[in-house]
Amino acid sequence: MLDIHQRLAELYTLSRKRPLTDDEVAEQRHCLQANAKYCWEMARLNNEARLAADTDDAEWQQEISAQMYEVRVTGRAGKRRK
């Protein structure tokens, strides 16, 4: 879980008790944007992992696995295969 996911949960909990402040709404919007980016990146990597498996490309699968781990930990992938 990334920090943004924890903060989204906190903001959601706060919003159930009271209206969010303008700063909190802006922060929530930022977290939602970062979450969407994270989800799309993981979806892309999952699709690539399926392609690598279908083509029996073990090296590519390892690269994708490393990128998926990096996304889970940092929220963004490093270098992509050319």
Q: Dump pLDDT digits (tens) for 20-67.
A: 999 999 999 999 999 999 999 999 999 999 999 999 999 999 999 999
Q: Are 36 and 8 in contact (CB under 8 A)?
A: no
Which one has a higher pLDDT value, 1 or 16?
Answer: 16
* pLDDT value at residue 79: 67
Sign, CA torsion 40/45/48/54: negative
